[in-house]
Amino acid sequence: MADFKLNGLVAAPFTPFHENGDLNLTPIEPYMNLLLADGVKSVFICGTTGEGPNMTLAERKSLAEKWVQVGKDKLEAVVVHVGCGNLRETIELAKHAKEIGASAIASIPSVFFKPKTIDLLVDYMREISLAAPDLPLYYYHIPGLTGTDFPMYDFMEVASTRVPNLAGIKFSHVETVDLMRCLHQFGEKYQFLLGTDSLLLPSMTFGSEAFVGSTYNFCGKPCNRIIAAFKNKDLESAQKDQFKFLAMVKIIVQYGLNVATQKAMMSLSRIDLGPTRAPIPNTSAEQKEALKKDLTEMGYFEWIN
């Protein structure tokens, strides 16, 4: 566990559903192969993009088992998000992830009864940690959805001494100063996974090395080009792809910055993974056609291939 480290792009996969809303595991293997073809070698499943909170425990277990099964000897890592609305179910999923051979786990805090202090948040994460002591554990910091928003630097000062298998934080927030401070103070031992896709290039200037995101499902090639160009000190090429990426993000925002819009993009770009689940609004046929038109006009389909 001490040597575990995520590198480069980590896709946050969409969860495939049948048209009636039932879980559909059939596309997982061809989906994985498409990611690998785009140079994306790790996945972070059952998170926000994967609609983990919209799934039952049994469904989340089945999905995790499938990804671990098809990813064996192919993917570098399968990270399972185990966070639920309560600690008991979170612990159940953490133990299951260990049993099936997941690479690591991650968790949000509880979102109805929220931890009111950093100490309470650390206590919560420690309980998850003790349920799967041999698995690296990432705290999933996404305050826009969880409503729990402490400075992660302050969290790390406490958690680093009390959560034995803490691996770091999935940092899905635009507070880059906090991220920079974490990387500077704790970066040698812990990982801070960038979870805000649009900050890919700038985040590398202050030390980010692993990036978890929804757009890497269909933008693996250009985002890998950004990483390679930055490492080769070719800032002009990196900026060119980064600005193209931001143009794509602007279109995503225009159609609703939600899972359904990006799932529609996945259908247009790579593979059809079915609808989203309520209360996430699905993209209509008319919206999808308009989305395709806007993406075509910006050169998206050539750019991602």
DSSP 22-51: -B--TTHHHHHHHHHHTT--EEEESSTTTT
Contact 142, 173 (CB under 8 A): yes
pLDDT in tens, 101-127: 999 999 999 999 999 999 999 999 999
Residue for token pair 């985040």:
203
The amino acid at residue 163 is V
Q: Which of 140, 216, 255, 300 is catalytic?
A: 140
Q: Which residues are paired to 78 by β-bridges?
A: 43
Structure tokens at 192: 């801070």
31 as an active site residue: the answer is no
Q: Which of 61, 170, 244, 263 is catalytic?
A: 170
Taking residues 31-38, report their average pLDDT: 98
pLDDT in tens, 49-106: 999 999 999 999 999 999 999 999 999 999 999 999 999 999 999 999 999 999 999 9
Is residue 30 reached through a cis peptide bond, with omega within 30 degrees of 0 on the bond before it?
A: no
Q: Radius of gyration over alpha carbons of the chain, in Å? A: 18
Report how far residue 142's alpha carbon sits from residue 193's, in angstroms, rounded to the nearest whole number: 12
The DSSP output letter for 149 is -
Contact 71, 43 (CB under 8 A): yes
244 as an active site residue: the answer is no
